[in-house]
Amino acid sequence: MDGQWAVVVGAALGASGAVVGAVTSWASARLQAGAQVDVARLQQDAAHGAETVARRRAAYEELILSVDAARRDMRVVRQHLTAPVGDDDGLEAVRARVHDRIREMQAAEWVLRLMLADDEQAAVTDLTEAVYTSHQGLMDDVDEWLRHGPTAGERAPGETPRYSAATSALQSQMMRFAGVAHTRLYT
Rg, Å, the chain Cα set: 35
Residues paired with 151 in a beta bridge: 154
Q: Measured in Å, how far apart are the chain's first and last C-alpha atoms?
A: 78
**Residue 116 DSSP class:** S
- Ranges assigned E (strand) in the chain: none
pTM of the model: 0.76
Nearest-angstrom CA–CA distance, 42 and 10: 47
Per-residue pLDDT tens listing for the chain (187 residues)? 577 777 777 777 788 888 888 888 888 888 898 889 999 999 999 999 899 989 999 999 999 999 999 999 999 999 988 886 667 778 889 999 999 999 999 999 999 999 998 888 999 999 999 999 999 999 999 998 888 877 666 777 888 899 988 988 999 999 999 999 999 888 8
